[in-house]
Amino acid sequence: MDKKRSLVVAVSAVLGLGLAVLLLPELSVAPAASQVKAPAAQEQPGHAEQGHLELSPEQIQAAGVELAVAGPRRLKRLLSLPGEIRFDEDRTSHIVPRAAGVVESVRVNLGQSIKRGELLAVIASQQVSDQRSELAAAGRRLELARTTFERERQLWIDQISAEQDYLLARQNLQEAQIALNNARQKMNALSGSAQLLGGNRYEMRAPFDGVVVEKHLSVGEVVSDNSAAFTLSDLSRVWATFGVFPQDLDKVRVGQPVTVSSSELGTQVQGRVAYVGSLLGEQSRTAPVRVTLANPDEAWRPGLFVSVQVATEAFDVPVTVPQTAIQTVEDRPSVFVRVAEGFQATPVVIGASDDGFVEVREGLAVGARVATRGSFTLKSELGKGSADHGH
């Protein structure tokens, strides 16, 4: 029994030793898991994580990138204020009837563009008829007074009648002349923007070129000489009005350059301060200021809200770049500086801006060449490189 047990143990030892010999080559060939190296990540061109873009001159030209040199410039400090476009009151007329009457016809519509002298409406008026009759009667009296005067003057010269009769005839002639002149002035007062027709009718006509912005007449309506009939405005010029607080009034003067811009229209125009009010508004506590703007295309419509920038003072800045050179990279304003291999995204600290240029307070030296047009394309390429490197 002991011999059998010893034999089994000896056979087991031999089999174990053989299995170990068979597995040993495989264990020596397979590397340890800790020693296995992942394949090296492919190197990304441009090194996006450092803000560097490697581009050849041909690639830069193909991308349409343009360069500008950072340098000194004289900038203007701007005072930004909200404003509103309004009618040019110097070219806006509230047209009223010259005499009370009844509207016979209206020839224009609201919003219609009209020329000077164009017919607006026709009105029948008893007052016109009365004034016309008075003028005719005054003319007849003048003719009679002149005839009587000539006769009395000749009789006085011939010593047939007394001098008193001659003097009385001369007085009557002078009074008739005064009465005729008075009647003519009354008729002239009924004209102006109106044109008298026969009988009791007169026409209302436009005093200048403009647009009918208000219309309050209809056929058959009874009007008086203080009724609001039409409002006519020349929209080729408008006012941009805004308010200035007392602490800034010493910075705003007549003649200062002003930039008026509209986010809705996506445009801006240049003008100059034409008027600065002397009194503060009771509600706003600001002084009214206005700028006269040319409006040939009538794009600046009254009631439009605008932004007004007034250049208050000028100062010299050592380093400036075009506004188009500034891009936001990693939540910081940056510029793409031209280097030998391409461009380097450089964070900067910016300051005042004016007329398309911005002050660079830190991060850029005078003479550095930066990308202007096409800088957004460089930013996009930088973002692509960072995304690819992250994966």
pTM listed for this prediction: 0.56
- Token pair, residue 240, equals 């941009």
- Token pair, residue 294, equals 């040319």
- Token pair, residue 26, equals 């495989």
Residue pLDDT, tens place only, 120-138 = 988 888 777 777 778 888 8
Per-residue pLDDT, 328: 86
Consecutive 10-residue runs of the chain (391 residues): their mean pLDDT? 44 42 38 35 43 81 86 83 91 86 88 89 81 82 89 83 84 89 78 60 86 89 84 91 88 87 87 88 86 88 90 84 88 88 88 84 89 84 61 48
Per-residue pLDDT, 306: 92
Distances, alpha carbon 84 to alpha carbons 19, 167, 212, 285, 295, in Å = 96, 68, 21, 17, 14
Per-residue pLDDT, 388: 53
Per-residue pLDDT, 195: 56
Task: Report which residue type is found at 153.
Answer: R
Task: Report which residue type is found at 274.
Answer: A
Which domains, ranges and CATH numbers included, belong to the chain? 48-78+315-390 (2.40.420.20), 82-89+235-311 (2.40.30.170), 90-125+200-233 (2.40.50.100), 127-192 (1.10.287)
